[in-house]
């Protein structure tokens, strides 16, 4: 069942999202060659706790950390460890928080120092695909209008969208209905209504869309070893159009 949120509930989700977005911005600023994924995780967790919130991912279905750190060919759910980032890497940072019973969720992919032209283009197209999807998050559209907009943009630019992982509703639970794929035919799926809150999160591969899961049971990587990028915003559907709750105010 899709839960429609009141204005009050949307504002509570926004508060959690703002904590997440602020923490990601701070983590982004310290990324440089030599820093470890564990150090990034520790900073993100510290910043969330300082705001009186709870790291949403830590312990969720057994996930062991506050932050997902996915480097290069890693798509999502990379577990932070002592790996030191290197010049030319790209790293996806996915973070969630819970405040006063409401969840926020956001992800960014950032360069480590100077990156290749291919990697730079992947980051640019992935971010643009998110906004293509957000433009379709309006009352009266169908859910898969969002999905189709993301897929069309990505494939038009020569990349592929991951099928195995999708966006989701969010509110009093981290993952709520509906699931929001990044691929599909337009004019399909539930009608979008005022009060829906969706975490839209394109995952885009430079090569094939196929994935595999590493032995840790969490880290998803591209099957062909190509680069991958992941971005995410939490968006409320309102009568005035989409509101990006995880954009820093």
Q: Give me the pLDDT at residue 249, please.
A: 85
- 153 part of a folded domain: yes
Tell me whether residue 178 is in a domain: yes
Q: Is 26 a member of any domain? A: yes
> Is there a domain that residue 249 lies in?
no
Query: From CA 175, how far away is CA 192, in angstroms rounded?
Result: 18
Residues of the chain with pLDDT under 70: none
User: Could you tell me the residue range of the domain that residue 225 belongs to?
Assistant: 7-240
Q: What is the mean pLDDT of the chain?
A: 98
Domain of 48, CATH number, reads 3.90.230.10
**3-state SS, residue 233:** strand
pLDDT at position 231, please? Answer: 98
User: Do 166 and 180 form a contact (C-beta atoms < 8 A)?
Assistant: yes
Q: Which pLDDT value is given to residue 137?
A: 98
Angle between the N-to-C axes of helices 7-30 and 37-50, in degrees from 0 to 180, rounded to the nearest 10: 140
**Model pTM above 0.85:** yes
Measuring CA to CA, which residue among 142, 145, 164 is closest to residue 153?
145
- Is residue 1 assigned to a domain? no
Is 246 a member of any domain?
no
CB atoms within 10 A of CB 73: 20
Tell me the per-residue pLDDT of 62-111, one tens digit each, with 9 for 90 and over: 999 999 999 999 999 999 999 999 999 999 999 999 999 999 999 999 99
Number of domains in the chain: 1
Classify residue 49: in a domain, yes or no.
yes
Tell me if 183 is assigned to some domain: yes
């Amino acid at each position: 069942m899709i839960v429609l949120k009141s204005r009050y509930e949307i504002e509570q989700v926004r508060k959690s999202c703002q904590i997440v977005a602020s923490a990601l911005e701070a983590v982004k600023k310290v990324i440089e060659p030599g820093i470890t994924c564990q150090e990034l995780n520790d900073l993100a967790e510290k910043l969330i706790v300082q705001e009186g919130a709870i790291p949403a991912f830590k312990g969720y279905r057994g996930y062991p950390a506050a932050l997902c750190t996915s480097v290069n060919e890693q798509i999502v759910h990379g577990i932070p460890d002592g790996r030191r980032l290197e010049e030319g890497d790209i790293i996806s940072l996915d973070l969630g928080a819970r405040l006063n019973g409401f969840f926020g969720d956001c992800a960014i992919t950032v360069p480590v120092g100077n990156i290749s032209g291919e990697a730079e283009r992947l980051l640019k197209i992935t971010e643009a695909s998110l906004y293509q999807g957000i433009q379709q998050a309006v009352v009266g559209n169908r859910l898969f209008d969002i999905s189709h907009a993301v897929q069309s943009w990505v494939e038009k630019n020569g990349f592929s969208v991951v099928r195995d992982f999708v966006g989701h509703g969010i509110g009093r639970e981290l993952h709520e209905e509906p699931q929001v794929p990044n691929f599909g035919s337009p004019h399909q799926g539930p009608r979008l209504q005022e009060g829906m809150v969706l975490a839209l999160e394109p995952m885009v591969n430079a090569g094939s869309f196929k994935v595999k899961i590493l032995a840790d049971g969490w880290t998803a990587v591209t099957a062909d070893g190509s680069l991958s990028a992941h971005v995410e915003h939490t968006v409320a559907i309102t009568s005035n159009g989409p509101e990006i709750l995880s954009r820093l105010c």
